[in-house]
Amino acid sequence: RSSQQGADGGDGSRSSAAAETPSSEDFSLSLLDTNLPAEAETELRSFIAKRLTKGALFEGMGNVASVGLSIPEYKVGCYYCRFHQENLLEMATLESDINAPEYVVCFLGGSEKEDTFRLELDKYIQSLKINLDLEQKTLETYVNPYLRSWFENAICPIQRVVQLLQEKLAFLLHAALSYTPVEVKNADERTEKDISRFLAAASLQGLVQEGTMTSLCIAMTEEQHKSMIIDCSGPQPQLHNAGSNRFCEDWMHAFVNGAEGGNPFLFRQILENFKLKAIQDINNLKRFIRQAEMNHYALFKCYMFLKNCGSGDILLKIVKVEHAEMPEARNVVTVLEEFMRE
């Protein structure tokens, strides 16, 4: 098979490699680009070759592992992903005598914390896969700069949004949890993308039922008739139609306090903990509602939980959508809504 592999080192490093081999068992890796020292690049290539031999690399799905390199003489976290160049893959399926080149791209960081950004890095590779062209001109003008900016573009957006919004971040967290549409005005392209990525990372998509999410999006849009607007025309962003609650404000402080260290991986971990706590609260409320169908004391527990958790406004909307088709639970939610209004 024909194999083309790539590797990346250090704070935005990368390397790629290509080869033609007569056997499906055998392959070689040739270097396309890297910013690693030669010795470390050889060690990384050996690591990738072993993974390929074991069949441990799946097309388009990134992995994160710890790799020992002699420079700087400690283990680093390595995200690596194997992929085909898309247009050549299509040609290969049409003409069996053409072998589609394969690539491996590697990004190296200080630890295995890249795992928290694996999905973002997978998307980053997808974009490269579509635009990759082996012509030298394209490599120099597009591929090389694209690979070298991986850390800035895939890892740092959450950190930049925290630094941009500061205390106003609570409103963005509230919008993400409640599926409120957000419009960004008078901002540069990078800021728009950063906010969009933050919302995607902070939402509960994939953690709550898909039907619930869709219904909630529709309910929020109908209820508000307007999006939350972030206006970046002035020195400080101005927010309009924004909502918040105590839960989001508490977590905002965790982000702002974490900004002193300036570690993008820490921000992602805080965001994951934020979502985990929200899911725990939703599950607790659903359990109380099931008990409250037959127990008035449990109904009071529901009410006290909603009152004290800090995000009762959002949780009530989520369970209302989820229990819309369940008469007993729907009655409990209706009573809870009346109590919360009072």
In a domain, 23, yes or no: no
What residues form DSSP beta bridges with 161?
none
300 and 205 together in one domain: yes
pLDDT at 24: 43
In a domain, 322, yes or no: yes
- CA–CA dist 59, 243 (Å, integer): 42
pLDDT at 219: 63
pLDDT at 99: 64
pLDDT at 326: 82
- CA–CA dist 330, 292 (Å, integer): 11
In a domain, 138, yes or no: no
Q: Which domain holds residue 309?
A: 165-341
- CA–CA dist 335, 41 (Å, integer): 64
208 and 274 together in one domain: yes
75 and 174 together in one domain: no
Model confidence pLDDT, tens digit, residues 75-105: 788 999 988 876 655 555 555 545 667 889 9
313 and 194 together in one domain: yes
Q: Which residues contact 234 (CB under 8 A, 6 or more apart)?
A: none
106 and 178 together in one domain: no
228 and 324 together in one domain: yes
Model confidence pLDDT, tens digit, residues 222-248: 665 578 999 999 899 999 999 999 999
Taking the complete model, does pTM exceed 0.85, yes or no?
Answer: no
Task: Please report the DSSP string for 118-139 in residue order.
Answer: HHHHHHHHHHHHHH---SHHHI
pLDDT at 141: 80
For residue 334, the number of C-alpha atoms closer than 13 Å in the C-beta half-sphere is 8
- CA–CA dist 109, 267 (Å, integer): 16
Residue whose token pair is 């139609």: 241
In a domain, 213, yes or no: yes
Q: Which residues contact 108 (CB under 8 A, 6 or more apart)?
A: 8, 9, 10, 13, 36, 44, 67, 76, 77, 78
The total domain count for the chain is 2
In a domain, 33, yes or no: no
Q: Which residues of the chain have pLDDT under 70?
A: 1-26, 72-73, 86-100, 111-114, 131-137, 206-225, 261
281 and 325 together in one domain: yes
298 and 195 together in one domain: yes
292 and 335 together in one domain: yes
In a domain, 158, yes or no: no
186 and 328 together in one domain: yes
pLDDT at 221: 59
In a domain, 24, yes or no: no
H helical segments located in 132-263: 136-138, 144-148, 150, 157-165, 169-178, 189-202, 210-224, 246-258
Q: How far apart are the first and last CA of the chain?
A: 70
103 and 238 together in one domain: no
- CA–CA dist 341, 324 (Å, integer): 19
For residue 143, the number of C-alpha atoms closer than 13 Å in the C-beta half-sphere is 25
In a domain, 29, yes or no: no
114 and 233 together in one domain: no
For residue 291, the number of C-alpha atoms closer than 13 Å in the C-beta half-sphere is 14
